[in-house]
Amino acid sequence: MDAPYAIEMVNITKRFPGIIANDNITLQLKRGEIHALLGENGAGKSTLMSVLFGLYQAEEGVIKKDGKEVKINNPNDANDLGIGMVHQHFKLVQCFTVLENIILGVESTKNGILQMDEAREKVKALSEKYGLQVDPDAKIEDITVGMQQRTEILKMLFRDNEILIFDEPTAVLTPQEIEELMEIMKNLRAEGKSILFITHKLNEIKAVADRVTVLRRGKYIGTVDVATTSKEEMSRMMVGRDVNMVVDKEPAKPGDVILKVENMTVASKLHSNNAVKNVSFEVHESEIVCIAGIDGNGQTEFVYGLTGMEPLVDGKITLCGEDITKESIRKRSRLLSHIPEDRHKHGLVLDYPLEYNMVLQRYWQPEFTSKAGFLKRPEIRAYSERLEAEHDVRSGQGPITIARAMSGGNQQKAIIAREIDKDHKLLVAVQPTRGLDVGAIEGVHRNLIKERDNGRAVLLISLELEEVMNVPDRILVMYEGEIVGELDPKKTTVEELGLYMAGAKRNVFIDGNTPEIEESEVVDNVREGRDA
Amino acid sequence: MKEKNLLKNPSFQAILTSLVCIVLGLLIGFVVLLMINPAGAGEAIKTILLNFLTRASAAAQMKALGNTLAKTAPLLMCALSICFCYKVGLFNIGAPGQYEAGACIGLYAALAWHCNWVICLILAAIAGAIVGAISGTLKAYRNVNEVISGIMLNWIMLYMTNMILSRKAVKDPASPYTIKLASGNKGALIPSAGLNKLFANNTTVTIAIPLAILFAILIWVILSKTKFGYELRATGFNKEAAKYAGMKEKQNIIVTLAIGGALAGIGAAFLFLTGYQEWSTTQTSVPGMGFNGIAATFLGGLHPIGTIFASFFIQSITDGGALINKSVYPSQISDLISSIIIYLCGFVLFFKFALNNWIKKKEKKEVSKVEGAAVKAEGGDK
């Protein structure tokens, strides 16, 4: 008789110097189920998966496949056992086609010549079977993130993997793509594949998973059936306390204008069109304004233009009454704090210790640099320790921890601590909760609202619908580089917001005037235009 | 426990791995010597290692040591040039070109313009800095790899230097060399300040040696203690983050390569302004000094202070190699041995990696042992 579990990890313990990353964790994946692995950042999910994938060896515990104990010493062993993984950051060759990426490493050749036809047939059959639409001859660099992910899934299927690991697969997808992915996962389950789904999004677990195993700070908390467990219960298991799912806040009392953007236009690096077109709006003190939109609609370029990282093609930026259109990044940073979209690329010098990262935006100030140009190391150390304590930034060795060695959530906390603590009137927060878990997201939102209540202007750029609906006082929707709508989060619905984000509706026009037509009419017009 | 902490200490690791490279290099060199002629191999390797100590009298030993030190100073400057740029994430393989520029302008100023040594030194530094800045500017504004532009500039500067130093005012009409400073312009010789007395009146021993060591300390202080070093290293680690933090990342790249160039330029001055040798205007290969600096940088654990010792060692084995019995071994053998050691210096990082892996494995075993014991002691408390 077959054992009921496709893969079992029993009593796994994995230690690193100074920390137990996995403390006696058991994970049992049934055949043909979607099993979610839930935990905060740093809870040990990645370590556990690395053990399963052969990247780390556990000190204690055993791994069983179909009830038989197996040794996984390296990723090749994992592959041989039919374990495949879609990594959070895809491992695809950008200038190769979809098909070339899929066969990479398992190419069949005849006299040294690649045999593509067979592979093409197999890929075609697989994509039909599981509803994975991709164009096998499209180059990776030309296709959407969602399609790239489908390529990764096909890669696993092409290798006849039975156990599929998805590492936070929805972090990079649009709401529509997420829904499609959920369907694909259900199809895979129906075909008897076993899926491990690493996530911290409770909605998604509710939507597809059968069971969920929860980890917290390296410890095993429990495994429960999703159908009979509420989201609140799951988040309590994950965080260890009750989490406030709804953002508490008083109504905004906007004051003077802090930021005024007039006709801002920014060039695109990808194509010859402008990425940001003629954008105008204001942000007042004690107000959170959110720029919502699907990824890639000019938000990134807008922030670059606003913070001075890219020059404007046209337009004017006024901050606290000062024209800063042509000012340097350093000059702008006197009044402007910036939580960047990509914390690894921009937010941190990963090879610097935490303390040096904590002063990245202020190291030149007399507080940290003497008149002769020497760094004041004790002051930097003390400052870092204070921020770490105030913002609960956890790290292995405190201020001297190399930033690269910290978990993503704590890296983000460090950046937020740094940006909030420095002098500023305007906080630009670009996807500040990206890749964070429920507990950490709550903290970030609380911080944003505290900023507002302290009289700062907050400009939030977000892709998360829940965040867009709950945190800001005003929503601006960006579509193809233009602001197409201004909405009141209290009066709008997710569905309406979705229409604006998809470009099917607009209530702001280039001249900045709200039109005199009924909104529904516009929608109808646009829809008709599309259908026609 | 203490012993293990020492093993984990990064400075100790750097020293240990460098020593491993040296030992391995000597072993391989020894094998090569054995293959050519087993009888003299032991003697030859001893000569390479002992260098000046093989001389007969104490005075001759000091004199030979003086020669090695005189050439260590320029080598150290080149190593510092590479080390400094490396810390900012740039591989300054253009150091030889910057060195050539320093030699060119330093000697020209000394012989044609009759400047004194301080001016010559400063002009050599400026010349090196300009050549470095060319690579830097190309890198910052056109994203031209500094390795490519550096190598090309090495050749451009070599022939420009040959051309400029062939002019009547600076070249000895009877030989391909530039005029000796001792006869051309005594004021351009770097003063010895009595140091020559310590080395049996070796006149090439000058204050260039202590100055080079001071430069090493200065570079170390700048990189690790100052705001300037903080910015440069941040730019080296992550250009984008440096830009985000309002640093002038493009300017930093140019400044870094300019400083690297200045160091290499000073290195040239430290050789040619001591009267140790003259520039040969017919040479057709890029001087090895700049390239050996790469080896000294890696052997020195990429640390400015480490490069002091590494430079001395490399110069010492090079000089020692020249003393091998030429009737037994071909004259190229000395270069071969030193290049094997230099080549192995490139493996310093690899050895460091291997050492860390070994420590990790050992630790893992010990932790499980300790924990096992603890569980037993607690009587299975859990």
Across-strand partners of A64? Answer: A8, A69
Query: Which string of DSSP letters, residue by residue, matches B297-345?
Result: HHHTTT-HHHHHHHHHHHHHHHHHHTTS-TTTS-TTHHHHHHHHHHHHH
Beta carbons of B230 and A330 less than 8 Å apart: no
% of chain A at pLDDT higher than 90: 43
Residue A520: pLDDT band by 50, 70, 90 thresholds? very low
In tens, the pLDDT along B60-104 reads 889 899 999 999 999 999 999 999 999 998 999 999 999 999 999
* Contact check, Cβ <8 Å, B227/A364: yes
Do B241 and A347 count as a contact with CB atoms less than 8 A apart?
yes
A375 touches chain B (CB under 8 A): yes
Unique residue bearing structure tokens 């922030």: A303
Per-residue tokens: B231: 């910015």
Both tokens of B268, joined, read 């040239």
Does A400 contact chain B (CB < 8 Å)? no
Tell me whether A360 touches chain B (CB under 8 Å): yes
Mean pLDDT of chain A: 86
Question: Is residue B43 less than 8 Å (CB to CB) from chain A?
Answer: no
Chain B CB contacts of A331 under 8 Å are: 246
A378 to chain B, any CB pair closer than 8 A? The answer is: no
Distance of CA A506 to the CA centre of its chain: 27
Q: Domain-by-domain residue ranges, chain A?
A: 5-82+162-239, 98-160, 269-335+424-532, 341-411
Q: State residue B5's pLDDT score.
A: 67
Going by the DSSP 8-state scheme, the letter that residue A191 receives in this structure is T
A-chain CB neighbours of B230 within 8 Å are 356, 363, 375
- Determine the pLDDT at residue B79: 96
pLDDT band, residue A511 (cuts 50/70/90): low
Asked whether A12 and A1 are in contact (CB, 8 A), the reply is no
pLDDT digits (tens, 9 = 90+) for B343-367: 777 677 777 778 878 877 777 676 6
For residues B237 and A347, is the Cβ–Cβ distance under 8 A? no
Query: pLDDT by residue (tens digit) across B292-325?
Result: 898 889 888 889 999 999 999 989 888 888 888 7
Residues 363-382 of B with CB under 8 A from A: 363-364, 367-368
Looking at the DSSP bridge assignments, the partners of residue A52 are none
Confirm or reject contact between A361 and chain B (CB < 8 A): yes
> Least CA distance to B234: which residue of chain A?
A349
* Confidence bin at B230 (pLDDT 50/70/90): very high
pLDDT of residue A33: 93
CATH number of the B2-366 domain? 1.10.3470
Please state which CATH number belongs to domain A269-335+424-532. Answer: 3.40.50.300
DSSP 8-class letter at B36: H
Q: What is the pLDDT of residue A17?
A: 66
Residues A432 and A288 sit within 8 Å (Cβ to Cβ): no
Return all residues near B7 (Cβ < 8 A) that are at least 6 apart: B13, B16, B355, B359
Smallest CA–CA distance from B221 into chain A, residue: A374
Amino acid at B260: G
Distance from CA of A20 to the nearest CA of B (A): 11
Q: Kindly report the number of other CB atoms within 10 A of residue B276's CB atom.
A: 20
Strand partners, A486: A476
Do A5-82+162-239 and A269-335+424-532 fold alike per CATH? yes
A514 or A131: which leads in pLDDT: A131
Instruction: Locate the chain A residue with the closest alpha carbon to B224.
Output: A375
Residues A389, A392, A397, CA angle at the centre, nearest 5°?
A: 75
Smallest Cβ–Cβ distance between B244 and the set A340, A350, A375 belongs to: A340
Contact B230 A309 (CB under 8 A): no
Contact yes or no for B244 and A347 at CB 8 A: yes
Q: At what angle do helices B38-50 and B304-321 cross, to 10 degrees?
A: 140
Any CB–CB contact under 8 A between B356 and chain A?
no
B234 touches A at CB < 8 Å: yes
Kindly give, in sequence order, each residue whose CB lies less than 8 Å from that of residue A185, ignoring residues fewer than 6 positions away.
A34, A166, A195, A197, A208
For residue A346, list chain B residues with Cβ-Cβ distance below 8 A. 240-241, 243-244
Q: Specify the CATH superfamily of domain A5-82+162-239.
A: P-loop containing nucleotide triphosphate hydrolases (3.40.50.300)
Work out the mean pLDDT of chain B and round it to a whole number.
87
- Selecting from B227, B237, B363 the residue whose C-beta is nearest the C-beta of A17 gives B363
Cα of B253 vs its chain's centroid, Å: 21
Size of interface A-B (CB pairs under 8 A): 67
Q: Tell me which of B227, B252, B357, B382 to substitute to probe the interface with A (most A C-beta atoms closer than 10 Å).
A: B227
| B299: contact with A, CB 8 A cutoff | no
Q: How many helices (H) and strands (E) does chain A have?
A: 17, 22
pLDDT tens, position by position, A424-481: 999 999 999 876 777 788 889 999 999 999 999 999 999 877 788 889 999 999 988 9
Rg for chain A, CA atoms, rounded: 25
Cα–Cα dist B380/B59, whole Å: 73
For A49-100, the pLDDT digits (tens) are 889 988 888 888 999 988 889 999 888 888 889 999 888 778 888 889 999 9
pLDDT at B52 over 90: no
